Amino acid sequence: MAILENIRKRTTILILIIGLALFAFVISGVFTSGTLAGGAKVGSTVAEINGKEITVDDFRRKIEAVSRNNTSGSSMQMVNQVWDQEVKTAILEEQFEDLGIGIEQDQIIDFLKTSGYAQNPSFQNEDGVFDPALFRETIADWKKNSPAQYASWLDTEKAIMQLSKEQTYYNLIKAGVGATLKEGEFEYKLANDKIDLKYVRVPFSSIPDSTVSVSKSEIASYIKEHKEDFKQEESRDIQFVYFEEQPSAADEEAAKQYVLKWMNDQYGFDENKESQEDETINDTIVGFANTTDMAAFLDRHSDIKFDTIFKPKSALPARFADSLMALSVGETYGPYRDGDFFKISKMMGRKAGGSVKASHILVAYEGAQRANPEVKRTKEEAAARAKELLQKAKKSGADFAALAKENSDGPSGPNGGDLGFFEEGRMVPEFNDFVFDNKVGAVGLVETDFGFHVIKVTDKQDLVQIAHLARKIEASEETINNLFTDATKFEMATTSEGKSFVDFAKENNYIVRPVNKIKALDENLPGLSTQRNIVQWAFNEDSEIGDVKRFNINNGYAIVQLTAKYEEGLMTVEDASAVVLPKIRKERKAAQIIGKYQGKTMEDIAKEANVSVSNATGLTVKSPTIPGAGSEPAVVGSAYAMEEGETSGLIEGETGVFMITVTKKEEAAKLDNYSTYANNLKAANVSKVNTEVYNALKKAAVIEDNRADFY
């Protein structure tokens, strides 16, 4: 009571304190309003493209619109989809404005006529044809009576206008793309002028790599001279140990003991029974082997319910199919492990010969159901032809498959008429009755609406009905707790105790898995699938090389260590050396070989280098593969410019240094007109316009990408 009295006495002071706290909260909100948990501000830009800002609010609205129509993609896939479209729109819009490209309503209607939107029933007349007047009426009706549908249409209209402008823009460029007849002739000659060579090659492999020393400074100089080839994005390397939640040996044994427990009758209390009102300790609980109501028993005691469908051998687990098919009705097999289950299986029923394999030769006639239009024979002619084929098929040693390939009008003809296994009722009645009423090897003739069939029964299999008492093998609570303990110990050892990540993993037989060059917007990590949170941690400014963190993921935990950071710009000497070293060595080896054999004949080079003089025939610039050497475009290109009988100097190729003599040049036959080749060249160039023009514009654009700050 004394405490309550003190509170009452100080009511004014309390009100003042609470008021000041609320004021501080409001003031704090003023200064921090619009700030996200990650530090990014609401209303700030997710990108800036050539000076045009894209706000995160607008970007998110577009992602939401995409997500309503796409429920299968991941969140980052949708982010990237919207990003690509926003970048494309911003870059191309500048071009549209500069060229004055706009779209009028008539152009939208023209676009609709040739697009999938024309198939919308709302825009079609009674004849199923797109009607511009009906289209306008429908949109007006949506605007008046269906605001949501109209709003959706406005988004669609924007997309159509964008596509139409893009189409107009690219068509303007394509109009200027062409190919002359001379270019067509040159293209023809590059593909068809043939060259025969005599050559000697001193392979680069003749000089050991160990004899060509390359310093770090030389690698650095090479990188600077070839900057475009060694640019890198900001990226990270990590390594992780995955503690996967999976059943232990004890969990597997528990599943096995469960099915064994319910295999036979037992006495006691049935914990799986829905109602225990009349249960006593001396109840007899009928087991799997003896139950007379299999469906009810499996509903209570099995993780796989009773399937009453009769199935062929092919539908059974391949590893156990022979054993299961060998069971008599009432017999059981197991326990055995099948995937994630322990099972005991019982044969409930068998249909002898319930699955038949047959082949047939279809002789169709004009007017028969689904007959090929090319078939012109009459029904009488077809019947006579089928009887002839029947006699041939019945002869001893007849090759039914060959007869079918040569004579069948059915789609199975190329496969020798083989229809595979099928069950009763799958074929038309006449066909069905013959194959199921006759023994394997029987050959006969039946008529159906498709024509005349010469049929051979090639195999029969039983169909079986099998019940499975099954228990799924799952990680127990004890196993899950042990997994958590192991993951925690590993995390503590590599953080608080300072033990080496790799060494401690090795000591405890854990597998360390590296993932290299992760980009800021990646989400899929090999071995862990979608783990955006790990990527964000790796790129967090506070994350340092060597840091370790545990992540809760699906089915377990990942203990992750950040192992390297790569900044945007030129690759370091260490990172680029794997690519640069072979290039510099190749240049040095080429210089050594050329210096050693300069001025010598082909035969002298072959003798001194202990290689042979070889021949290559029928080479073209379009197909520059030299037998025994591989693709050598520089060598074949040099030969193309030489005269017959001329010998080259030393040529640096892809795999070694060459000296060549052109032994024969065979010009392709001259054509009266090279328009076909010119048109093909033009079509190839036109097909590249959209991609190459956009890529060029994108490369020249100034793009600031802030997606990683928000997603």
Q: Which of 32-36, 74-78, 251-255 has the lowest mean pLDDT?
A: 32-36
pTM assigned to the model: 0.66
Q: Could you read off the pLDDT of 211-223 as tens digits, one per residue?
A: 999 999 999 999 9
Q: Could you read off the pLDDT of 125-153 as tens digits, one per residue?
A: 877 888 888 888 888 988 999 888 888 88
Q: How far apart are the first and last CA of the chain?
A: 54
CA distance 274 to 254: 23
Q: Please, which residues bridge with residue 346 across strands?
A: 332, 467
Residue pair 198/613 in contact (Cβ under 8 Å)? The answer is: yes
Q: Is 555 helix (H, G, I), strand (E, B) or coil?
A: coil
Which pLDDT band holds residue 624 (cuts at 50, 70, 90)? Answer: very high
pLDDT at 275: 53
DSSP 513: E
Mean pLDDT of the chain: 88
Q: Could you read off the pLDDT of 592-611 as tens digits, one per residue?
A: 999 999 999 999 999 999 99
Residues in the chain: 711
Which pLDDT band holds residue 272 (cuts at 50, 70, 90)? Answer: low
Tokens 């899950």 correspond to what residue? 480
Which pLDDT band holds residue 10 (cuts at 50, 70, 90)? Answer: very low
Query: Which residue type does 490 have?
Result: F
User: What is the rounded average pLDDT of the residues 33-52?
Assistant: 62
Q: Please, which residues bridge with residue 551 across strands?
A: 558
Which pLDDT band holds residue 45 (cuts at 50, 70, 90)? Answer: confident
pLDDT of residue 30 exceeding 80, the answer is no
- CB neighbours of 281 closer than 8 A, spacing ≥ 6? 268, 269
Q: Could you read off the pLDDT of 495-548 as tens digits, one per residue?
A: 988 899 999 999 999 999 999 999 999 988 998 888 999 999 999 999 999 999
Which pLDDT band holds residue 632 (cuts at 50, 70, 90)? Answer: very high
CA distance 659 to 641: 14
CA distances 373 to 303, 356, 392, 407, 428, Å, are 53, 31, 27, 16, 22
Instruction: Find the helix or strand (DSSP H, E) in which 652 lies.
Output: strand 651-652
Q: Angle 78-235-241 (CA atoms, 0-180°, nearest 5)?
A: 90
Let me know if 308 is exposed, middle or buried by CB neighbors in 10 A (0-12, 13-18, 19+): exposed
CA distance 130 to 575: 59
CA distance 162 to 160: 5
pLDDT of residue 260 exceeding 90, the answer is yes
Instruction: Find the helix or strand (DSSP H, E) in which 420 lies.
Output: strand 418-423
Cα 56 to its chain centre, rounded Å, is 30
pLDDT of residue 29 exceeding 60, the answer is no
Residue 679 CB neighbour total at 10 angstroms: 14
pLDDT at 498: 82
pLDDT of residue 13 exceeding 50, the answer is no
Instruction: Find the helix or strand (DSSP H, E) in which 580 lies.
Output: helix 573-597
